[in-house]
Chains A and B, each alone.
Chain A
Amino acid sequence: MSDLTLTANIDSPDDFYADLLDIHEGHSKEESEAINARLILILANHIGNRDVLKQALAAAVS
């Protein structure tokens, strides 16, 4: 079983965070929610592995 990475793994975290907020700039709350949903699905597809995805889902609601 693969393990979900929960240690720091994002290259240049401040740049990433700024990029993340940038895509929401100028969008309504509803639009932002839709963008977030699409983003989750895109990242989930990139991960692919069901074990890892299950652990991520659990971590998010814990």
Chain B
Amino acid sequence: MFDDRYTLAFKAYPYEKSPDQSAENPVRHPVVVMGGGPVGMATALDLGRQGVPVLVLDDHEGVGMGSRAICFAKRSLEIADRYGCGDPMLEKGVVWNVGKVFHEDRQVFEFNLLPEEGHKFPAFINMQQPYFEQFMIERARALQAEGAPIQIRGKNRVESVDVQDDHVVLTVMTPDGPYTLEADWLIGCDGASSPLRGMLGLDFSGRVFQDSFLIADIKMINTNFPTERWFWFDPPFKSAGASTLLHKQPDDVWRVDFQIGWDVDRKEEMKEKNIRARLDAFLGGDVEYEIVWSSIYTFQCKRMENFRAGPVIFAGDAAHQVSPFGARGANSGMQDVDNLGWKLGLVVNGKAPVSLLDSYNSERIFGADENVLNSTRSTDFITPKSDTSRLFRDAVLHLSERFEFARPLVNSGRLSVPCVYDTSTLNSADNLAGGPARTRPGAPCPDAPLGDGYLLSHLGDGFVLLAIDSDAPDEIVESGITIKTISISAKDDPSGQLAARYLGQAQRGVYLIRPDQHVTARMATFDEAEIRAALRRATGQEIV
């Protein structure tokens, strides 16, 4: 009855019988999350921190094996930091800045990401996905101990759902048999092959790429590589793979990805001797290593037409799937949760209309489309689908060795950056003349130095009025929602980065910032009526 679909990296929430299972009538929960992966756990953290009761149902008892998503972008770390678990991730993760691109037997160029200064977090870290999940689960446990209304139930598999207008009835299988419960809101965080999507018969369309990659995580025994990203197009070690990526992870583990083609015998390829044959061709015969984990993946760029179906909302891979180039999978899932959490919290608490959730749909579909576009282009560059496409790809690589102009065209993945919700109906007009484009309404707040720390750490979870060298009241309450003012001065950052990112040509400015740290309005001086209108608009209470 309860065969695991995969092996666990570690057990985190062993099955325990809950009182709900013997309740006379189905117990109603405000929010049930289906799936305890990174997106589901982030949802629990977001809602639990707001005091919104949240129940996570997972069909396993912990975190699955395998490094899987290894690249965590700055924005994901900032979101995790808001939840209180960014620091252990930063401490564990590997930071790299140098990348090398090879074509056939030559290095064609080397790049340095030269990260912008004045941010708490780097552009990204490499870290095995189980660590990312573990730090979030540990945070959930700490919050539970402080009384946050988070429940996690292992070996609770949702068997069927009955969607009503204003709630969902779930049948859940456990080792003690099935039980029924109800949810005002059901959040589907159940991954790319989402059983929930299947149960509801919802579409998931897009492109399937006819290629597959073999991943091998290896631990070096008698040699080492630098902490750099190396990518080969058409490498000389042809028997290893058609393109190859080498990337460092914590614990002295390297991730190797080999492009192995479409018509492969998975079982045959997964035999250790065959994986070793590829690795030996790649590394040379003298290198000794241990294989930590391996897998074969194929990929697709797909998304649901709508991320919300009445009281059911989808997030992460369940809602959209991209090819892995650019690290836009788990990272976009974290942005989904960041976007959904505060909106759902306001709706559950009766402080915003249900229609606010439609903006989750439109904003995150905008994000998903951006991710699909970028990862599709990277895939087309890495695995050209026609002779002409290959001709240009090889020409770009050839030219990039000597001519700088061709390097921006080389596409082995465009790394995930948070999207700017330019077209969002929640935004108010940009009324800060001379303000930088990067902090326009819709944009995620870039971090900046502030005193001894960083700006984003001060923004927190609620609506914030950021007054820079401007007068504003300490607090404004509009429609039952509190806007807290943070008054700062450009002088709080002698490096000038804060002013460059938030003032530009302006001398002072006032920003209204959403709980997900996106700018929703900005103006030259505090105008109470304008702020109140912007808050109403940002919470779906005012039709534009």
Contact = CB atoms under 8 A, between A and B. Distances in A.
Interface of A: 5-10, 13-14, 17-18, 20-21, 24, 27, 29, 32, 36, 59, 62
Contact of B388 (A5, A6, A8, A24): A24
Interface in B399-431: 399, 402-405, 407-409, 411, 414
A17 B411 contact: yes
Given A17-B377, A18-B377, A21-B380, A9 B405 contact: yes
Given A8-B408, A24-B388, A29-B388, 15 more contacts: A6-B405, A7-B404, A7-B405, A14-B377, A14-B411, A17-B377, A17-B381, A20-B392, A21-B380, A24-B386, A29-B387, A32-B387, A36-B388, A59-B399, A59-B403
B408 to A, nearest CB: 4
By Cβ-Cβ distance, the 8 closest A-B pairs, closest first, are: A13-B408, A32-B388, A24-B388, A6-B403, A8-B405, A7-B404, A8-B408, A13-B409
A10 B408 contact: yes
Nearest to A21: B389
10 contacts: A7-B405, A8-B404, A9-B405, A14-B411, A17-B396, A18-B377, A21-B380, A32-B388, A59-B399, A62-B402
A13 B377 CA distance: 11
A21 B411 contact: no
Q: State the main secondary structure of chain B at its contact with A.
A: helix
Interface of B: 374, 377, 380-381, 386-389, 392, 396, 399, 402-405, 407-409, 411, 414
Nearest to B387: A29
A6 to B, nearest CB: 5
A17 B405 CA distance: 13
Nearest to B404: A7
Contacts of B414: 14
A10 B405 contact: yes
B404 A14 contact: no
Nearest to A59: B403
B377 A6 contact: no
A56 B374 CA distance: 30
Contacts of A6: 403-405
Nearest to A13: B408
Nearest to B403: A6
A8 B374 CA distance: 20
Contacts of B407: 8
A14 B403 contact: no
Contact of B374 (A14, A17, A21): A14
Contacts of B408: 8, 10, 13
A9 B404 CA distance: 10
